[in-house]
Structure 1
Amino acid sequence: MKTPFEQVLTDVTAKLQHPLLSFSDSEKLVIALTDTISDTLQMSLNARNQATLVVSGGSTPIPLFKKLAAYDLNWANVNVTLADERWVDENHDDSNTQLVKTQLLQKRASAARFIGLKTPAVDIDSGLDSCSTALKQLPQPFDVVILGMGNDGHTASLFPNTTTLKEGLSPATDKLCLSCQPPTAPHQRITLTYPLLSSAKQVILHIAGEDKLLTLQKALAAKNQADMPIRAFLQDPSINFVVYWSP
């Protein structure tokens, strides 16, 4: 007989329109995910001599960043940018830029070209145009996008109940990035939009812990994307989307 948690995993796998790869521990997940990311980047390097990796912040991807940093790729031809950023200085503890520079852009990966979302503009809305201009310089579609997910169902900085969420999730928007002020999290933020993120050659949701699997189960149980923005990705069968999960 399955334990209640094993039943949750079975339920999520059955309802998900995309693959879910589960691992017994984080170390096994990181090894497998590093191989997937590096293989995808290498294919793009072989085909067009450049590649783009989009990453997210938080504590979950740190072991992945450390593993990737030592991977033997032509990192000088790899662009790295963020799915979202808090509108704080780079030296702020909450800066995703600081996280990426200290955890990913080390060792071999220190040769990569980093494109941050935070600009010198006096405020976030004034910085949107220059951020968009920088993003337009990157070859699209992106090769790999790595997303996280909060327990409220947000991903990147596509948060429930924000004024820009509708446009951020709209498949028809021509905006590459938008600002937002999450009601349940500190700092104004800048986020890439759903069309830009979801059009990547490979979109990966990297989550860990039983709580995140329960959040995923909740997201799969209803349709309203405004309540849980991760549903936009879960409900779109046309994108190349895969979930990597470990306890």
Structure 2
Amino acid sequence: MIEPLFTAYEDRASMGRALAGRVAMRMAEALETRNAAGLILSGGGTPKPLFAALKDQRIAWEKITLTLADDRWVPPDHEASNERLVRADLLHNAAQNARFISLVTDDPQAKGGEALIEDRLRAFPWPAALVLLGMGNDGHTASLFPGSAALSAALDPEGPARVRAITPGTLPKDAPYDRMSLTVSALLNSHLILLMINGDDKRATYERALAGNDQAAMPIRAILQQNRVPVEVHWAP
């Protein structure tokens, strides 16, 4: 296991600014050795300060491909869409030249879109230069929820699939939509993982995740307790 590096900040705004510089530096480093670099993002409210600062970072955005760790199975203009968040908060100013690979298709259910999204992701420059993840208080990350019928296959670090559909019957009540999620094998096909969390409750969840080893109970453990990819944990109250 590679011990995660934990950094605490005074507030969320300062964490967002600091991480914007960290992400930009990592992407610039990746572009020194390749002509393309991949950045995997997460949605929700936590990374919004990061996106606000990152969009003005002067890096070669035209050489960067973005995708998401997961998304809800809704149209890209839906208020619950992570793609909508990225397009609204990040893909402006300097960052508007980045390429974006969507995790959503026109299929009525997420399961029907798996093959097309797998094909789309062949164009992503693997391994990812950086993965940005969040975490729920139940220990989920991306859309890898405890109790999901697809969880066992999605947690396999050697699994061949890059994405898995998460169906409504396996989702918590506060996550009512179908989901498409990158698998652990895809997330670990990267050079660096940043876990960004806010609040005392998330810090307690993080510490609880470190204290046990049941990945099915807390899928974030598959990221925190592995020996392939360095993990940095960034927390603000």
1:231 maps to a residue whose letter is R
Answer with 16-25 or 164-173: which moved more: 16-25
Equivalent residue for 1:193?
183
1:183 maps to a residue whose letter is P
1:149 maps to a residue whose letter is M
Equivalent residue for 2:72?
86
1:195-214 → structure 2 map (5 Å cutoff)? 195-214=185-204
Instruction: Give the one of 132, 142, 161 matched to 1:175.
Output: 161
Equivalent residue for 1:62?
48
* CA offset digits 1:125-147 (Å, max 9, x no partner): 11100100011111110111000
> 1:237: how far off?
2.9
Inter-partner Cα distance in structure 1 for 2:165 and 2:91: 26
- SS at structure 1 position matched to 2:118: helix
Inter-partner Cα distance in structure 2 for 1:17 and 1:46: 27
> 1:195: how far off?
1.0
Inter-partner Cα distance in structure 2 for 1:139 and 1:50: 6
Give the number of equivalent residue pairs: 233
- SS at structure 2 position matched to 1:132: helix
> 1:117: how far off?
0.3
> 1:235: how far off?
1.1
Answer with 78-87 or 236-245: which moved more: 236-245
TM-score, scaled relative to structure 1: 0.91
> 1:59: how far off?
0.3
- The answer to whether the Cα contact below 8 Å between 2:140 and 2:146 also exists between their aligned partners in 1 is yes
* CA offset digits 1:129-175 (Å, max 9, x no partner): 01000111111101110000000000000000000000000112100
Inter-partner Cα distance in structure 1 for 2:90 and 2:180: 21
Instruction: Give the one of 72, 85, 103 matched to 2:89.
Output: 103
- SS at structure 2 position matched to 1:105: coil
Equivalent residue for 1:126?
112
- The answer to whether the Cα contact below 8 Å between 1:18 and 1:237 also exists between their aligned partners in 2 is no
Inter-partner Cα distance in structure 1 for 2:222 and 2:66: 24
2:151 maps to 1:161 = no
> 1:238: how far off?
2.8
- SS at structure 2 position matched to 1:201: coil
1:221 maps to a residue whose letter is A
- In structure 1, the gaps of 5 or more residues are 1-15
1:156 maps to a residue whose letter is A
1:142 maps to a residue whose letter is A
Equivalent residue for 1:233?
223
Equivalent residue for 2:210?
220
TM-score, scaled relative to structure 2: 0.95
- The answer to whether the Cα contact below 8 Å between 2:17 and 2:49 also exists between their aligned partners in 1 is no
2:7 maps to 1:21 = yes
- The answer to whether the Cα contact below 8 Å between 1:220 and 1:234 also exists between their aligned partners in 2 is yes
Q: CA RMSD in A?
A: 1.4
What percent identity do the matched residue pairs reach? 38
